[in-house]
Structure 1
Amino acid sequence: MYEQKTKETDSSVIEFIENVENLKKREDAYKLLDTFTETTGYPAKMWGQSIIGFGSYHYKYQSGHEGDAPLVGISPRKAKISLYFATGDTERDVLLPKFGKHTSGKACVYINKVADIDVDVLKALISQSVKFLKETYPNGDMKE
């Protein structure tokens, strides 16, 4: 049976951010923490060892695979800061061209620093991702 690797933990979000070596990246992590908390209304929780997640939902695929994941999240990694949004949301593609300097993958958007992006567009991306997941998984166990 599949064992989900990234799970919500009781680790301290503040302690995690305080251990980010790069001072500027640490400052940006705090800015993002405030923005995500304010925009989602959910408290920050650690997911695994390196993802700060906000809210959660339960997903179940047609294959039978199921699990829990944060609605949105951030991770101040060494190279870039990862921002986690919903996969499959076409609205994300509409907002990203207005976002500022970034690269993106399937679920992640990567930035170098907060100064490179439009924070209002970030708030729209966060809100849209939460809305999309709540609509996509209406019977999911949405929790704080």
Structure 2
Amino acid sequence: MPTDQSVDSFLSAVQPQAKAEDAQVLDALFRKTTGFEPVLWGPSIVGYGRYHYRYKSGREGVHLATGFSPRKAAHSIYIMPGYADFSHILSRLGKHKHGKSCLYVKKLADVDLDVLSELIQAGLEDLAQKWSVEPT
């Protein structure tokens, strides 16, 4: 869930310093690519945009549209909603691992930031085909 905690304070406390610097770069990239202001979701996820979902089962809620978390092992980047195959973009990204809807990058120097921006945009466009994405 979104919180009222300061994203700037959270990012400035990230350790080690190299991960904090990467987190600042990610924040700038997400802001520029999405046009959304960041919101801290839970204790450690920086989110950009949100969407309300309602499943056929009746379960519903609000979730961040895209974002990242500077985790200890790697940056977790939440950019692929899981509805489309982005292998054509991922093949150009650089060194990473990924699950169904999450990308893992140890350091930003390992990836092409222009391709990452393209992937963020493609993920948002894919998500918007299923749910209405709103600014945060």
Class of the TM-score when normalised by the shorter of the 2 chains: over 0.9
Q: CA RMSD in A?
A: 1.3
Indicate conservation of the 8 Å contact 1:99/1:122, yes or no.
Answer: yes
- What is the number of equivalent residue pairs in this alignment? 136
Aligned mate of 2:24, from 24, 30, 34? 30
Aligned mate of 2:122, from 112, 128, 132? 128
Q: Distance in 1 between matches of 2:26 and 2:133?
A: 25
- In structure 2, the CA distance between the partners of 1:63 and 1:36, relative to structure 1 (3 Å rule), is same
**Which runs of 4 or more aligned residues in structure 1 lie more than 6 Å from their structure 2 counterparts after TM superposition?**
none
Q: Which has the higher strand share?
A: 2
The Cα shift of 1:63 comes to: 1.8
The Cα shift of 1:142 comes to: 2.1
User: Equivalent residue for 1:143?
Assistant: 135
Q: Secondary structure at the match of 1:136?
A: coil
User: Equivalent residue for 1:107?
Assistant: 101
TM-score (norm 1): 0.89
User: Equivalent residue for 2:112?
Assistant: 118
- In structure 2, the CA distance between the partners of 1:93 and 1:65, relative to structure 1 (3 Å rule), is farther
1:49 paired to 2:53:
no
Aligned mate of 2:84, from 75, 81, 90? 90
The Cα shift of 1:92 comes to: 2.0
User: Equivalent residue for 2:62?
Assistant: 68
